[in-house]
């Protein structure tokens, strides 16, 4: 574990006046009916609610926000490539949101990775980059700037996991072991998933090895169907209980309506397990609505799961034996001692919705970082057509006020500081958090940011006065004589003349000149 500065522990719920108020507020929310969203007050943050319900958090991790109203310590640590220096990213205020601007300043002119994710609970179960295990080599830290997002009206970062990345704590305090009851949730994303093992958050082995059935108890989120049949395309919220991703006691889904969340940008995934004879799975849209239970019933019928044999390590982004081929997104998550009530779960979900994950940035229509825009073609043929993603590729197509919400979202981009050069820009997808517009074989595509230097360069574009004399043209950072161009309704980086069809000189200056407009998505 990396040396960390002294940080205040959140007061125990019975020892401070502020925490007493938090308990009262949370209990009032529960008694008045958990189905009604509580006010977005700091006194009803997730660990306040769970603590008031008698199931205190034993782990509370987030890059985005405080999970206790009283917490005022660091959220995570970053390390920059230029000199190896490290910095803790803290909160703007107690019970508030991350000071992401401090990260941006510290990492300016270089790149940073996330080296540690601090546990906000009094247990101090901090997560560091995972070492080698039975199924995977030692992991690397996730790029600190790969997943910009709006939360609580603030510009912050989530954690974007690519294959070979993961975090762990094998020496924890208070986490369930040997059949003890526990609950857990995480806020993740349905737009950044795959079918590899295993994007998990929760209880795992303490030796990075597969030690047998029932030695894990973790939320899994992805499109890997371990036990057929699985219904729909996923991704599904499943329980990684070791040697299987379970949707029921039989392993396979007993619920034909559970077809997965689909590409929902923000998902609440929840698992609770009494460690003896019952577990339950739930999910929700983290932006609106309540929880849906997809399974509530007995432990798996195979041997070793009833009772469970949890070992009490905490894993994020990999399987228990460091199976690390998965990808995923993580914004926040907690683990509790004991099984939370459904009322507490509902209150926590309502609080998550109140955060406003993925909400408007507050700026529109300019190339200032953080502004939301749409890019309109200026060539006379196509002045009602905008750059949008479709089946992962960039195209131009007509978009208007009467277009579907999907079309308008696909045609909206968030301007970010250039991933390879802060004086240029990158374009993040509005409805696929952490996915950026980048060129590959000259074609523009929407792809998740993986932190590599190649991706950073391919996804960086440098604005200049439109080559037609109007609008804005965007030169490729790593091919500076090539510009963002539409050709036959597809989008490329194109030179003025060359062997490729999209380099044709006819109408080139108009095709590479764009109108930066207000976004189509709200």
| Active-site amino acid positions | 242, 321
Cα radius of gyration (the chain)? 23
Q: At what angle do helices 17-32 and 342-355 cross, to 10 degrees?
A: 110
What does the angle CA 379 – CA 384 – CA 390 come to, to the nearest 5 degrees? 100
- 494: β partners: 483
Nearest alpha carbon to residue 9 among 96, 65, 71? 71
Q: How many CA atoms lie within 13 A of 15 on its CB side?
A: 6
Q: Which residues contact 324 (CB under 8 A, 6 or more apart)?
A: 130, 135, 136, 137, 139, 163, 164, 165, 166, 317, 318
Return the ∠ at Cα 385 (arms to 380 and 390), rounded to 5°. Answer: 145
Which residues lie below 8 Å from residue 353, measured CB to CB, with a gap of 6+?
Answer: 37, 286, 287, 288, 289
Contact 175, 459 (CB under 8 A): no
Q: How far apart are CA 307 and CA 270, in angstroms?
A: 20
3-state secondary structure 459-480: CCEEEEECCCCCCEEEEECCCC
- The CB-side HSE value for 144 (13 A sphere, CA atoms) comes to 29
Q: List 272's β-bridge partners, or say none.
A: 183, 280
DSSP state of 234: -
């Amino acid at each position: 574990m990396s040396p960390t500065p002294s940080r205040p522990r959140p007061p125990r719920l019975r020892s401070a006046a502020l925490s007493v108020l938090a308990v009262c507020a949370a209990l009032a929310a529960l008694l008045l009916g958990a189905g009604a969203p509580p006010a977005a007050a700091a006194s009803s943050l997730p660990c306040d609610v769970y603590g008031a319900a008698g199931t205190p958090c034993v782990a509370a991790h987030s890059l985005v926000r405080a999970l206790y109203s009283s917490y005022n310590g660091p959220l995570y640590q970053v390390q920059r490539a230029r000199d190896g220096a490290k910095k803790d990213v803290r909160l703007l205020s107690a019970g508030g949101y991350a000071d992401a601007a401090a990260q941006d300043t510290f990492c300016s002119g270089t790149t940073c990775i996330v080296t540690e994710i601090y546990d906000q609970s009094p247990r101090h179960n901090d997560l560091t980059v995972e070492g080698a295990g039975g199924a995977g080599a030692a992991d690397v830290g996730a790029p600190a700037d790969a997943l910009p997002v709006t939360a609580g009206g603030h510009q912050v970062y989530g954690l974007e996991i690519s294959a070979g990345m993961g975090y762990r704590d094998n020496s924890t305090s208070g986490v369930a072991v040997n059949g003890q009851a526990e609950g857990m949730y995480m806020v993740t994303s349905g737009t950044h998933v795959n079918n590899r093992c295993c994007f998990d958050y929760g209880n795992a082995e303490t030796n990075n090895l597969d030690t047998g059935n029932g030695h894990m108890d973790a939320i899994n989120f992805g499109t890997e169907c371990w036990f057929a049949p699985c219904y729909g395309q996923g991704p599904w919220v499943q329980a990684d209980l070791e040697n299987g991703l379970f949707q029921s006691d039989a392993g396979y889904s007993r619920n034909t309506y559970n077809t997965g969340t689909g590409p929902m940008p923000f998902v609440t995934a929840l698992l609770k397990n009494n460690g003896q004879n019952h577990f339950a799975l739930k999910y929700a849209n983290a932006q609106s609505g309540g929880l849906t239970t997809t399974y509530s019933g007995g432990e798996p019928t195979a041997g070793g799961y009833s009772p469970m044999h949890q070992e009490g390590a905490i894993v994020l982004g990999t399987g228990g034996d460091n199976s690390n081929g998965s990808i995923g997104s993580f914004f926040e998550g907690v683990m509790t001692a004991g099984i939370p009530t459904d009322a507490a779960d509902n209150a926590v979900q309502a609080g998550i919705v109140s955060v406003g994950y993925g909400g408007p940035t507050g700026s529109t229509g300019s190339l200032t970082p953080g502004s939301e825009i749409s890019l309109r073609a200026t060539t006379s043929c196509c002045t009602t057509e905008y750059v949008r993603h479709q089946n992962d590729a960039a195209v131009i197509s007509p978009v208007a006020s009467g277009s579907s919400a999907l079309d308008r979202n696909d045609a909206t981009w968030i301007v970010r500081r250039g991933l390879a050069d802060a004086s240029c820009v990158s374009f993040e997808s509005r409805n696929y958090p952490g996915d950026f517009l980048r060129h590959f074989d000259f074609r523009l595509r929407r792809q998740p940011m993986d932190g590599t230097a190649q991706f950073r360069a391919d996804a960086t574009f440098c604005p200049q006065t439109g080559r037609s004399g109007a609008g804005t043209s965007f030169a490729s950072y790593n091919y500076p004589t090539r510009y963002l161009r539409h050709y036959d309704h597809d989008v490329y980086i194109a030179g003025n003349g060359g062997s490729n069809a999209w380099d044709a000189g006819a109408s080139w200056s108009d095709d590479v000149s764009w109108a930066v407009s207000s976004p189509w998505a709200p």
